[in-house]
Amino acid sequence: MNISKELRKDVERLILSYESQIAIIGSAINASHAILDALKKERVAANNMLEESLARNASLRRKDFDIMTRDFNLYQEEREEQIKKKVNAFLKQQQELPSQLKALLDEVNSGDTSNSRATIRDIQQRQEEATREVTEAICSFQKESEQSVTEAHEILNNTTGLSVGDFKRWLRQSQPYKNANNSHVDKTLTIARK
């Protein structure tokens, strides 16, 4: 009977802990959406500066620039959507957890404590893993986006007149895009030069 009371207290503490964390997690998720939006604005601003420089220095039309950067931008937008989905799934999981813990508490109250400790450990491990995964995903995307914007600014600052060749090299070397399919970039750059 002592084990049952101790287990009940453990589950009640977990419930209170997770219920209070949901508000904090909700705020963190709102902040992560704000970060994603800010990164997108920075990326769009960097793209606009690159486009203006190429139009001025290499007589590249907006349409050609859009074609060249389409895959790059699509890749970035898809990554952003993946992160948002992962974050929203994480929040949903957090919101469902207290009801799972309350069901566990009902089992403990009914006297069934056979798997309760293992269930608690499993829940805690899954929560730690989910938290780690979503944090790593956000940090990775933020790093990729910041690096892309930094590289765009560097190419603008390090060239006296940005050429299509400079831009092509940047697109090929640009992290995170360099792992994506670059064949379309080659074709569109060749078309743009003609």
Write down the pLDDT at residue 187. Answer: 46
CA distance 122 to 34: 32
Per-residue model confidence as pLDDT tens digits over 92-146: 888 788 788 778 777 777 776 677 778 878 888 888 888 888 888 888 888 888 8
Question: What are the residue ranges in the chain where pLDDT is below 70?
Answer: 1-3, 19-20, 112-113, 159-160, 175-194
CA distance 7 to 25: 26
Residues 6 or more apart from 101 whose CB is under 8 A from it?
11, 14, 15, 18, 123
Residue-averaged pLDDT of the chain: 76
What is the amino acid identity at position 74? L
Query: What are the extents of the domains in the chain?
Result: 2-193
* pTM score: 0.69
Residues 6 or more apart from 78 whose CB is under 8 A from it?
none
